[in-house]
Structure formats: C-alpha cells, structure tokens
C-alpha cells in the first residue's frame, strides 16, 4: 500500500466494528496497520471510519470530530441495554407523550450536560468493561460524565406504537442509548433506542461511505485505490503550505510560526475549527494553535510523512 489513508464504510446492523477492521486488515495485509476513528455498537449501522497505515495516528483526531445520528426512539418500555437488543425491564404508559412535548423536552438536552453511560457499554469500571460486569451479573454503574449535544431535531411524528425518529448531532463520548433513556424519564415514561444509524462522522457522510460487503469482497489493489488520502482533510480544515523550514521543524516535533505561511483555500466556505493543518508533498501535520505575543505558533500533534521522509 503506497499511501496511508482513510476508508469510511457503511457498517451494517449486527456487525461488530472490530470485525470490520479485521476484515480490512486481512485484505490489505498483516503488515499494514489498521484502526478506526470511533466504534459503533453492533446493533447500530452507518459510518465507520477505518484508518490504514500511518493514518492510524489520526484515530483520536477523528474520534473528536462531531457525529450525527438518526435514531428511532420507542417510548413506553426500558431495556437492560437501553436498546432493542436487551431485555425489557420496565413498561410505563406513554400515551401522554405528544410531538409538542418531545420538542419541548429536546430543548433541555442542548449543550453540555452530565450523562451516565449504559450499564452494558465499553466504559471501564475498576479496570473492567461495564458490559463484562453487567453480563456476569455484577452491579455495573458507570459514573456520569460530561457530554455535548450540538443539535437535536425531530424528523417524524410519534406513531401509534410510541416510536419517533430523531436526528442528534453530538461530540465524542455521547451515548445515544443513554439519551433515549433519559428523554423517556424526562417525559415521565420509559424509552429505548429501537434503531440507530450514524449518518456522519466529521466530514465523512453515509452517502459517500462504501458498502461494507463490497469493501470486504475487493482485492488488495482495488481496496488500496479506494482509500482516501489523509490530505483530503485539507479541504475542510484551515490549511497552510509547509515550506522547507516548517517541514524540518514539524518533522522533529517542533513548533512553527503561523506568520508567513501561505494559506490554502478550503473547499468549504466555513471550515471546521479546532485544529490547523500544515501540509506539503513531504508531510501532513495536524497542529494545535497557541498564541505567542501578537502572533500564533503551531504545535504538531500528528505527523504523517511521505514515503522516504522517515516517520515521527
């Protein structure tokens, strides 16, 4: 594989994220390091960002990007997993829940709030996964932690079975299953996720994600050609050209001055914020910005080097 990169796939419901990564690794070859930019529950479908080669260094960066989900919430019943895969543990009347009541309740979830992860989740409790403790019959009560909801909207009216379709934009660490559970409680009933799809992970949208079954049936050469170069992120984030001096400093983990760098025009009219990219044919560097006097310095957080340029 000649270029490190990103492969967004459309994971089907029922497939494990780790199995999808393993399938891609088997095709590309064991020598090609593979990873992901945030897992999806096996019961969920949608965008799973798979990373190959040096692009695996982008894992934390991709995980931090905003995610958008479409979820069907069913009111009237709570489950042991907060989704349809668990056992029903509580049934409550839901007929008082109206579209207007849902819209009003959603306003209470915007912004930062504390959220308790599901008992059956990958959160660690005393060094063990919560789902391992829960399925062994032990008490598993993950501590609440801060999460952020960027936008929540209702896409359908509540139907005769107590189901409603919602769209949720959120930041890293947010559990949509917990959101459904808490929404039910807020409305004086019980609720769980009956269907969940991740429609985007940062700039990677489901419409352009490759069907997982297709990806798993491709040859090594065809799959390698389908990988998106990490440099594609230059189109959506503030990006500057790396000249000879900035390349040398970045490649050794040193800060560079923003002054004098030539700005690349972004593809989007309003590029995403949070990081700055400095790139050339030799290097792709994700940097954090730090004020110094009246100017700014850029500190490299992730460096991806072109072949033959060494690795940092």
Per-residue pLDDT tens over the stretch 29-52: 989 999 999 999 999 999 999 999
Angstrom distance (rounded) from CA 6 to CA 28:
13
* Catalytic annotation, residues: 41
Four-CA torsion 234, 240, 245, 246, nearest 10 degrees: -60
The mean pLDDT value for 1-22 works out to 90
The better pLDDT of the pair 141, 145 is held by 145
Q: What's the pLDDT band for 311 if we cut at 50, 70, 90?
A: very low
How far apart, in Å, do the first and last CA atoms of the chain sit?
A: 19
**CB atoms closer than 10 angstroms to residue 204:** 22
What is the pairing mode between strands 5-11 and 124-125? Answer: unpaired
Predicted pLDDT at 121: 61
Predicted pLDDT at 232: 85
Burial of 200 (0-12, 13-18, 19+ CB in 10 A): buried
Per-residue pLDDT tens over the stretch 214-266: 999 999 999 999 999 988 888 788 899 999 999 999 999 999 999 889 998 76
Predicted pLDDT at 1: 45
Range picked from 60-64, 146-150, 289-293 for highest mean pLDDT: 146-150
Predicted pLDDT at 155: 98
**CB atoms closer than 10 angstroms to residue 312:** 16
């Amino acid at each position: 594989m000649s270029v490190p990169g990103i492969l967004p796939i459309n994971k089907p419901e029922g497939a494990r994220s780790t199995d999808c990564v393993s399938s891609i690794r088997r095709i590309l070859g064991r020598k090609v390091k593979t990873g992901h930019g945030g897992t999806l529950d096996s019961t969920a479908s949608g965008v799973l960002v798979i990373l190959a080669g040096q692009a695996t260094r982008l894992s934390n960066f991709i995980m931090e990007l905003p995610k958008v989900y479409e979820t069907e919430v069913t009111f009237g019943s709570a489950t042991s997993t907060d989704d349809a895969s668990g056992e029903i543990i509580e049934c409550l009347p839901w007929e008082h829940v109206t579209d207007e009541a849902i819209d009003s309740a959603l306003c209470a979830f915007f912004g930062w709030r504390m959220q308790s992860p599901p008992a059956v989740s990958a959160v660690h409790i005393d060094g063990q996964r919560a789902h391992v403790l829960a399925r062994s019959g032990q008490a598993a009560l993950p501590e609440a932690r801060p999460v952020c909801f960027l936008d929540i909207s209702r896409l359908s009216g509540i139907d005769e079975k107590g189901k409603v379709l919602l769209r949720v934009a959120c930041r890293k660490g947010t559990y949509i299953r917990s959101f459904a559970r808490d929404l039910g409680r807020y409305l004086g009933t019980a609720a769980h996720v009956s269907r969940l799809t991740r429609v985007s992970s940062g700039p990677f949208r489901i419409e352009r994600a490759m069907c997982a079954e297709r990806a798993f049936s491709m040859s090594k050469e065809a799959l390698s050609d389908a990988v998106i170069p990490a440099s594609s992120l230059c189109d959506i984030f503030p990006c500057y050209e790396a000249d000879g001096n900035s390349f040398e400093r970045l490649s050794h983990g040193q800060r560079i001055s923003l002054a004098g760098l030539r700005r690349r025009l972004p593809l989007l009219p309003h590029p995403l914020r949070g990081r700055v990219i400095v790139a050339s044919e030799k290097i792709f560097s994700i940097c954090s910005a730090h004020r110094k006097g009246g100017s700014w310095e850029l500190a490299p957080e992730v460096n991806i080097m072109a072949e033959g340029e060494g690795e940092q």
